[in-house]
Structure 1
Amino acid sequence: MATRARPAQRRRQVLSREQIIDTAIGLLDAGGENGLTVRALTDRLATGSGAVYYHVGSRDELLDTATETVIAAALATAPDHAPATPEDEIRDVALALFDAITEHPWLATRLALQITRNPWGPVTVGIFERIGRQVGALGVPRPSWFVAASTLVHYILGAVSQNARIGGETPAIETDAEREEFLGATSKAWQALDPGDYPFMHAISGQMREHDDREQYLAGIALVLDGITGLR
């Protein structure tokens, strides 16, 4: 009996919090939130549920920690240096979040929950701090800081969420071919609308088919920044 206990004991000793979080992120990337179960996690790590609870707490706590880990890594990749303009810094942060949610589709829902339910947590505070510093550097008056930063953050999160599978309910567009097929079908449906009843939708149908998500996202950032700089 003693010889059987030693290997299990060694596994518990070498298991780290970081290993659990990294494995959880992998399960989330592969199967969304439904793919992250304690059983799947313990099977992947060859450990017991007690070790998971000891290191990271409940499943909800693990989801929050996974979100914090991915967002912290994304913000760390966005340059934070003095020579760049405030507009450049905001675009860097926005693109880092865009890329993070594109890579981790489950993140969109968790990020929205963090912003609304835990505004004092590290995710919300980290994003607002990075964006807010640049809002101040743009010369926006202090009484308008909250409105300006909130507008930017809400646009960023709303736009990136459109490019992700939210809550596992909306099928993701996985490949360029699937995206082209989807946009083509949408454009065709809009073109078929009566131009007398829907002149705007009819006019933009071709733009819908040809647009690039990343370029559209950056164009939206530029529009919001134009409005914010007008506050000066």
Structure 2
Amino acid sequence: MSTSKRGPATHRPGSAGDVWLRSSGRTGREALPLSRDRIVEEAVALLDAEGADRLTMRRLAERLGTGSTTLYWHVKTKDDVLDLALDMIFAEVEIPPGDGRGWRAGVTALINGWRAVLLRHPWSAALLGRPMLGPNVLARSEFLYATLLDAGVVEPRLTAAAYGLSNYVIGSALMQSTWLADADEEVRRAARERLRADRERYPALAAHGPLATDGDWDTGFAIGLTWLLDGIEAGLATTGDGADGADGAARA
């Protein structure tokens, strides 16, 4: 945010996240042949097919069968499109129902759903450093924080737990989607041979690293998530915080 002599603080226009901090300014133009939702749907399709580097306003307009000028009635910049596309795919992450299964079940379902969406849209994980202020993202973030709060996780552990879970799913999806998209079998084979040749210098990686094993991504993710949740639960048990308390494991 910045201030000027002309008025109150304003957000720097044209930057990532700006689309959430201003009104669309298109009231009364619903009769236009193109809608923002249609633009974003086509942008997601382009991103899924070709990745973020290939998204331009001109190419998006061509896919929609219109001109760039018409596109700019609805979105100002490529950053607008990326922000809107990210929020649109987050709608695919189901918010778990409050069915009494316990906080761990809810968090596990949310994180697994989030991971599935990021892998279904491989371009997305690399863009999650952007300001995430769309309604779909905020609703799922609210569920995560509220569920941890209800379990008794309080600050500073609340932020640590939420960030730990979020960073874990983002990092895991980024590594998996990048590796699968950019490294074909020939590249993986060459990388394994490099590690085998340097096994005396990198013995653990040569024997157990992802290049050596091409391991089961799903199993590895599930184990890591369990460890994170175990740590959160152990913190609740040792401090006596929260609704679950020391017997949280039995009831969750």
1:82 is matched with 99
State the Cα RMSD in Å: 2.9
Cα 1:119–1:78 shift into 2, 3 Å? closer
User: What TM-score comes out, normalization by structure 2 length?
Assistant: 0.69
CA–CA distance in 2 between the matches of 1:120 and 1:45? 26
Determine if the alignment matches structure 1 residue 228 to structure 2 residue 232. yes
Please list every run of 5 or more consecutive structure 2 residues that lacks an aligned counterpart in the other structure.
Answer: 1-30, 237-252
Q: Which of 78, 99, 123 is matched with 2:116 structurally?
A: 99
Q: Residue 223 of structure 1: CA displacement?
A: 0.9
Identity of aligned residues (%): 28
Residues 95 and 140 in structure 2, CA contact (< 8 A), matched pair in contact too:
no
User: For the Cα contact (< 8 Å) 2:40–2:85, is it kept in 1?
Assistant: yes
Give the partner amino acid of 1:57. K
The alignment partner of 2:169 has SS state of: helix
Q: CA deviation at 1:224?
A: 0.9
d(CA) in 2 for partners of 1:29 and 1:125?
23
Change (3 A) 1:58 1:199: closer
Cα gap change, 1:98 to 1:52, in 2 (>3 Å): same
Q: What are the Cα deviations for residues 62-105 of structure 1, in whole angstroms up to 9, with x where unaligned?
A: 1101111111x232x24333233211211211111211111111
Pick from 142, 153, 158 the counterpart of residue 145 of structure 1. Answer: 158
- Spell out, residue by residue over 1:136-183, the C-alpha distance to the aligned partner (whole angstroms, 9 max, x if none): 233323542122211111112111111223xxxx77158xxx46x766
Distance in 2 of aligned mates of 1:202 and 1:55: 52
Is contact 1:152-1:224 (8 Å) kept?
yes
Per the alignment, do residues 208 and 226 of structure 1 end up closer, same or farther by CA in structure 2, a change over 3 Å counting?
farther
Alpha-carbon distance between aligned partners in 1 of 2:49 and 2:211, rounded to the nearest angstrom: 33
Separation in 1, partners of 2:209, 2:46: 38
Determine whether 1:59 maps to 2:72.
no
Distance 1:158 1:111 in 2: 10
Matched residue type, 1:230? A
Q: Of 216, 230, 248, which residue of structure 2 is paired with 1:212?
A: 216
Question: Equivalent residue for 1:135?
Answer: 148
Q: Is 1:155 aligned to 2:168, yes or no?
A: yes
Distance between the aligned counterparts of 1:122 and 1:172, measured in 2?
Answer: 29
- CA distance in structure 2 between the partners assigned to 1:149 and 1:100 by the alignment: 18
Q: CA deviation at 1:199?
A: 4.5
Structure with the larger helix share: 1
Give yes or no for contact 1:112–1:157 (8 Å, CA) kept in 2.
no
